[in-house]
Structure 1
Amino acid sequence: MAVADRRQRERERRRTEIIDAAERLFYTKGFDSVTMDMIADEVELSKGSLYVLFKSKDSLFFAIVARKHRESLDLLVERMAGARSGGDGIRAIVQWYIDVARANPEYNEMATTYGPLLWSRMDSADDRLLAENAIQFNSLLHAAIDRGIEDGTVRDDLDPAMLGFYITMISMSVASPLPAWKKGFALAGITFDQVLDTFSRFIDPAIDRCRKKRG
């Protein structure tokens, strides 16, 4: 048993080293320019040994995404614990999107530049890798929506499932805009920081039950 445990720890340590190396290379050289040979050289592994742990460069991309999601969700759980109402919980989620985007510019650049194509060809194994994080996020979001409808801080005239989709899609698009949108910001004389700074002012009246009634 001790031998098996040691082998598992060694395997996980090696996986972490490979993910770290791939992340550095993707950030500095760009996903398209990096090869599995380059990653193998970076961690001093044979290419065959690398393929035992990761079947493709795409799988390494999604391993990086899954780890970033996991780390970010830990932060969100902490913030949600202090929410005094459902509305506050949703605002915490929106602010979390903004803060994670600001704290991880290299990751954001990689994910928005290469993510759309890679997501379109993601296989079932990579999908399962990300599913657990998505389930936890949706659970946190919909708990906040349900709580807000019950305590009167979130509008109740929209289907809660649809409201969850709106919040998620808009927040993701604002916090991680595609390159074409960033070009649009520049042409309009708007900085990405300005977009992030004003986003909460847009989302508040969209979810606030009291503001809806006053309108």
Structure 2
Amino acid sequence: MQRKKKKNKKLILDATEKLISAKGLVNITMEEVAQEADLATGTLYLYFKNKESLFAAINARFNKDMNQAIKKKMDLYETGSEKVVATGTAIVEFCLANPQKWKVGTELHQMPFEDVEDLNVQEFFHTANDMIHMLADAYRQGMEEGSIHADLDPVSTAIFSRMAFINSFTLTSEQKMLLQLNEIDREHYLSVSWNLINRSTHVKPSLREEGDIPLEYHRSEEEIGREIKTMVDSLGLPADDAVQIRDAWKMVAQITMGKGEYDFVETTKSRCVVHVNFCPITTSYEKTKRPVDNNMIEGCKRFGKILVETLNPKYTQRFTKQLCAGDDYCECIIELKED
């Protein structure tokens, strides 16, 4: 009897998922679900008292499957920072491997569940909260290890990160058009979204991770250039002259490295000089009590040059002073390349 109940419930959930994927939420009736599941309509009401209860059960199953994928990915890593990043990777992989489930999950994501006494609604809430606390535990561990900002509230941060990332899957018509026009595939866009979320919480931003390894193992110019181009295209940043390049450079630098403090010393359309008085990368090294070595100094120079030349190949960038090399500020010069 128990086995039959379990089988019938699975039939109902599978049928509902299929109908939601094909028709959306609005026009589905319990009679249609029963017909799709090849069961009597009355049988549905033995398991679910109404559509809200049924949809909550679908959502709970979706969350359980995704939580399992996240835990499996998290278990491959040791540090809190790595586990946070692994969460996003697991979500992307789950979405791409289960397009129907993901479509249904994002449909149901917009639905309010009001009957908090219903057992299926309660299970949905619990499974959603399970993911939040897995992620919050990873943030908490990272805070203790010094890789994630210590002043964050781990649970609130986990709730925001989950919502922000999942919302990036639910694209508007305009977003879809922009991605298509700029030839950006969905997987790469999701990767960029998750990286931006991570960089807002991590003490050590991502270019910065390359500062811990020898220069010969840093990413290629092409790989860094592709990452920058994706950001620039998605933000719609102009870069026709040195002033526009400087403004775009500042925005991309803040996304990839964190918020700095800048003085614009010289400004013409062919040449701009910027003084960076506060560098989040140098500060991250100080907070984690790590010495800044040549890998970081040269890696930062390289990244800045690639950034500007990706924005506009007619221009280049060089540093004449660097905070991480012991100077009082970084002096960055953006200028036209010599003929």
Band the TM-score falls in, shorter-chain normalisation: 0.7 to 0.9
- Structure 2, unaligned runs of 5 or more: 206-257, 259-279, 283-339
Evaluate the alpha carbon distance shift between residue 68 and residue 162 of structure 1 in structure 2; reply closer, same or farther with a 3 A threshold.
closer
Farther off after superposition, 188-197 or 150-159: 188-197
Could you say which structure has the higher strand fraction?
Answer: 2
Q: TM-score, normalised by structure 2?
A: 0.54
Task: State the partner residue of 2:22.
Answer: 28
Q: CA deviation at 1:89?
A: 0.7
Q: Which residue of 1 aligns with 2:79?
A: 85
Indicate how the Cα distance of structure 1 residues 194 and 185 shifts in structure 2: closer, same or farther if over 3 A, else same: farther
Q: Is the 8 A contact 2:136 2:157 kept in 1?
A: no
Give 2:70's aligned residue.
76
Counterpart among 88, 92, 100 of residue 94 in structure 2:
100
Report 1:28-67 matches (<5 A): 28-67=22-61
SS at match of 1:31: coil
Amino acid at match of 1:26: I
Give 1:149 shift.
0.8
Q: Which runs of 5+ in 1 are unaligned?
A: 1-6
In structure 2, the CA distance between the partners of 1:114 and 1:88, relative to structure 1 (3 Å rule), is closer
> Residues 53 and 121 of structure 2 are in contact (CA less than 8 Å); yes or no, is this contact kept in structure 1?
no
User: In the alignment, is the contact (CA less than 8 A) between 2:25 and 2:107 conserved in 1?
Assistant: no
- Please tell me whether the aligned partners of residues 69 and 94 of structure 2 are also in contact (alpha carbons under 8 angstroms): no
Mapped partners of 1:129, 1:29: distance in 2? 25
- Deviations along 1:94-148, one digit per CA (max 9) or x if unpaired, are 21222222223223333334542x32x4311143121331232122112111110
Q: Percent identity?
A: 24
| Structure 1 CA distance for aligned equivalents of residues 96 and 52 of structure 2 | 25
For residue 26 of structure 2, give the secondary structure of its aligned residue in structure 1. helix
| CA 1:204–1:10: 2 relative to 1, 3 Å | same
CA offset digits 1:38-84 (Å, max 9, x no partner):
22222332222221211222322221211121112112111111222
Measured on the aligned residues, the alpha-carbon RMSD in Å equals: 2.2
Q: What is the aligned length?
A: 203
For 1:167, the equivalent position in structure 2 comes to 161
CA gap 1:191/1:52 in 2 versus in 1, 3 angstroms: same
Which one has a larger percent helix, Structure 1 or Structure 2?
1
Cα distance between partner residues in 1 of 2:73 and 2:37 = 36
Q: Which amino acid aligns with 2:281?
A: R
Between Structure 1 and Structure 2, whose CA radius of gyration is higher?
2
Whether 2:172 is the aligned partner of 1:182: answer yes
Q: Say if 1:37 and 1:159 are closer, same or farther in 2 by CA, change over 3 A.
A: closer
Distance between the aligned counterparts of 1:201 and 1:132, measured in 2?
A: 27
Moved more, 136-145 or 97-106: 97-106
Find the aligned partners of 1:210 and 1:158 in 2 and give their Cα distance: 15
> Could you tell me how far apart the structure 1 residues matched to 2:98 and 2:67 are?
14
Aligned equivalent of 1:139, options 123, 133, 136? 133
Q: TM-score, normalised by structure 1?
A: 0.82
2:145 to 145, 151, 157: 151
- On the 8 A contact 1:97/1:171 being kept in 2, the answer is no
After the TM superposition, which of the residue ranges 44-53 and 185-194 deviates more from structure 2?
185-194
Matching of residue 112 in structure 1 with residue 89 in structure 2: no
Change (3 A) 1:39 1:112: same
Contact preservation (8 Å) 2:139, 2:148: yes
Evaluate the alpha carbon distance shift between residue 57 and residue 137 of structure 1 in structure 2; reply closer, same or farther with a 3 A threshold.
Answer: same
Query: Does residue 190 of structure 2 align to residue 123 of structure 1?
Result: no
User: C-alpha displacement at 1:191, in angstroms?
Assistant: 4.9
Residue of structure 1 equivalent to 2:281 = 214
Deviates more, 1:183-192 or 1:162-171: 183-192
Q: Could you say if the C-alpha distance between residues 42 and 140 of structure 1 is closer, same or farther in structure 2, counting changes exceeding 3 Å?
A: same
Paired residue type of 1:78: K
